Amino acid sequence: MKQYATGAPAETVAVTSSSDVVTARQMVRTLAQRSGLSLVHQTKLVTAASELGRNMLVYGGGGVVRAAPVSDEGRRGIFVEFTDEGPGIPDVELALTDGWTSGNGMGLGLSGAKRLVDEFEIESGPGGTTVRIVKWGR
Ligand SMILES: Nc1ncnc2c1ncn2[C@@H]1O[C@H](COP(=O)(O)OP(=O)(O)OP(=O)(O)O)[C@@H](O)[C@H]1O
Ligand SMILES: [Mg+2]
């Protein structure tokens, strides 16, 4: 993923409980509103962020969500990064398959999140997982 110019310093939320996922979701919603994303785009971004925040909590043992407004060639968007120091995802391609879960989930969080945003990348290893997303506005 390209390193986009940020319009403001990143905001962060440490996630160690479900209520922190809600806080992170609200932070992302507020940034998206400020950047002028349409309600539909806000909702897609917030839904993706919610799934990724929940995964970070459930499988990664918690972590940090960082978000910032970004711009590129005159368009504005929101960048969000989810970092945990959990066990990592052994097979990222498999984890992105619709319906695949290692636990009791529906296996739709990662694949759904990917479809809801414009840019999506996962870096994962035994030291943890980082997921980065960008949603461009309109
Ligand atoms: N941050 C993470 N660290 C380790 N493993 C992860 C992480 N995020 C996802 N995974 C793995 O990827 C699988 C697929 O994730 P996904 O969000 O698609 O499904 P789920 O969380 O199992 O179910 P759902 O999100 O539909 O409730 C998970 O079951 C888990 O094994
Ligand atoms: Mg999930």
Please give the distance, rounded to the nearest whole angstrom, from the Cα atom of residue 33 to the centre of ligand 2: 25
Q: What is the pLDDT of residue 7?
A: 85
Q: In whole angstroms, how far apart are CA 10 and each of 7, 17, 28, 32, 80?
A: 9, 21, 11, 13, 9
Contacts of 110 (CB under 8 A, 6+ apart): 51, 52, 55, 95, 96, 122
pLDDT averaged over every residue in the chain: 97
Q: Give the model's pLDDT for residue 38.
A: 97
Instruction: Tell me the mean pLDDT in the region 42-49.
Output: 98
Ligand 1 pocket, residue 53 CB under 6 Å: no
C-alpha 86/C-alpha 89 separation (Å) is: 9
Atom of ligand 1 nearest to the CA of 51: 25
Query: Please, are residues 54 and 105 in contact by the beta-carbon 8 Å criterion?
Result: no
Bridge-partner residues for 119, per DSSP? Answer: 134
Given the CA of residue 63, which atom of ligand 1 is nearest to it? 1
Q: pLDDT above 90 covers what percent of the chain?
A: 96
Residue 138's pLDDT is what?
Answer: 78
In this predicted model, what pLDDT tens digit does every residue of 75-104 receive, in sequence order?
999 999 999 999 999 999 999 999 999 999
Span from the CA of 6 to the centroid of ligand 1 (angstroms): 29
pLDDT at 111: 97
Mean pLDDT within 111-135 = 98
Pick the CATH number of 5-136 from 3.40.50.300, 3.30.565.10, 3.30.2320.80, 3.30.230.10: 3.30.565.10
